[in-house]
Amino acid sequence: MQKNKILEEILNEVDKHPEIMSRREALKYLTVSPLAASVLASASIGAITASASTDVSGKIVIVGGGLSGMSTAARLNNSIKNADITVIEPDPLSVSYQPGQTLVASGIWNLSDIQYKRDDYLPKGIKLIKGSVTSFDPKNNKVTVDGSKDISYDQLVIATGIMLNYKAIKGLDGEITSATTNNADTKKTITKNGLHSIYFQDGAKATWQGIQELVEKAKNHTGSEKLQAIFTHPRGPLKCGGAPKKIMYLTHARLEEAGVRDKVEMTFYPNGGAMFGIKDYHTAIVKQFEERDFKWHYKHNLIAVDTATKTATFNKWKKVEKQFEDEMGDPIMKKVEVSEPVEVKYDFMHVTPPQKAPDVVAQSELGSQGPGWVTVNKKTLQSSFFPNVWSLGDVAGIPMGKTGGSVRKQYKIVVDNIISVMGGKKPTALYDGYTVCPIITSIGTVMLAEFNWASKKPGSGVNATSFPLDPTKERWIWWLLKVYALKPMTIHGMLAGRA
């Protein structure tokens, strides 16, 4: 797609929301901004570094046709002469724009604004199997589809995404993916009676209805006690770790807009002991919470919901030192976790589900213990056990990185390394852990949190920023990036293997 086409796609997005910004205003910014220039350049045809002239051969199978898998397929196809690539993906909406679910949930976008069909973005010449991998056999270089059809490979890419494990919370049902419409069990509880979740498409749409219901309830509320809106962040890694806070900020914005914010108490319940794993971003978010009169309680993990009484039960935990005996009978001190249940009433609750790898991955020789992520070298994204297996995206077992911004870096690493290995060389392209999380803080402002693995080292500060601006500040220009530029760049750039 040519650069002017990407620009037109961005302006088309602007046209959908004239109350926020006019096309003329957006065009004025886009023509002078280094930020916009970099986005447009990255999505242009000239941005691809490898031409379709690499002369290597072999059968490449990609399990998963979402953003990670399809972007990898497209870039491999752009880079290898006569590429033999097969994508295995059952979901017809696998390439839907998941970061937009927050905007659907807050009434900024419609559900149709984020739904894209898998078959429309399959690169020309790539084979598609519309089925599910039901077993992996890496020792024999094959996978089985739908329990019956064996598919062999020379190189395997695992990009299945993750499962939203709602049923891990007592009182809730379902284990689903983000795009799937096969979510009837989950919707028996989530999407109604004040209980919501933006992590799947129908849930995002229902969340906007739930916010509107909360606004109306607040308008009619005359009691002395405030209505209770609570937001959860579970134990374990999850995709888009900023999303539980984003929907809280946006619910706040809608309550303020309606003039009823003072009638609702808003409380955040994260399992961890900080707002963010990077100190500078943690400090900025705490300040934002204080300015908005948000409450929060660290080390609370949601374990049960009683939908009839609208009661959430959290596991409130802490680490304490206890005395044990070693093998010789001598006393030693160890830190252990102790916990107690805490019940909280709610009028509105946003649930972020625990997340894990699909069982077929977790229970294979490629998965890991616990959530089951694919075990890979975190820099090369090559399997730790099978040199012709690779993984990226949400299912890859690396520190942090479960965002589309991470995938934008990862899929290029995977492609370069696959081509190197197919050519008889070692994988030399290295991923540094780069992740970006545009945290929406209001309707009109975003804090662009960029970081990598080095950012977590003591004293390192925020050291992965792409632009010469303080990344801890909420800015209107990042709203322009988030709401108008990232979707065209993703859909028309990454899915074409270019951005």
For each of the domains in the chain, give its residue range(s) and CATH number, in order of start: 3-90+131-162+357-496 (3.50.50.60), 166-355 (3.50.50.100)
Q: Which of 110-119, 199-208, 296-305, 490-499 has the lowest mean pLDDT?
A: 490-499
Q: Which of 215, 213, 288, 205 is nearest to 254 (CA)?
A: 215
50 catalytic? Reply is no
Percentage of residues in the chain with pLDDT exceeding 70?
91
* Residue 425 one-letter amino acid: K
pLDDT at 15 over 50: yes
At residue 231, φ and ψ (nearest 5 deg) are -135, 130
Strands 355-356 and 348-350: unpaired
The whole-angstrom separation of Cα 414 and Cα 396 is: 12
pLDDT at residue 49 is higher than 50: no
Whether residue 177 has pLDDT greater than 50: yes
Please report which confidence band the pLDDT of residue 4 belongs to, taking 50, 70 and 90 as the band edges.
Answer: low
Closest CA relative to residue 190, chosen from 181, 202, 208: 202
Q: Is the dihedral of CA 359, 364, 368, 374 positive or negative?
A: negative
Tens digit of pLDDT for each residue in 342-357?
Answer: 999 999 999 999 999 9
What is the C-alpha separation between 359 and 287, in angstroms, rounded?
Answer: 40
Phi, psi of 264 (to 5 degrees): -130, 125
Over residues 272-287, the mean pLDDT reads 94
* Mean predicted lDDT score pLDDT of the chain: 91
Annotated catalytic residue, options 240, 392, 448, 496: 240
pLDDT at 34: 55
Among candidate residues 7, 400, 437, 464, the one labeled active-site is 437
User: 10 Å Cβ neighbour count for 31?
Assistant: 11
Q: Which of 54-58, 124-128, 378-382 has the lowest mean pLDDT?
A: 54-58
Distance CA 84, CA 94 (A): 21
> What local confidence, expressed as pLDDT, does residue 32 receive?
56
* 290, pLDDT greater than 80: yes
pTM over the 0.75 mark: yes
pLDDT of residue 181: 83
* pLDDT confidence bin for 48, thresholds 50/70/90: very low
- Active site (annotated) includes residue 14: no
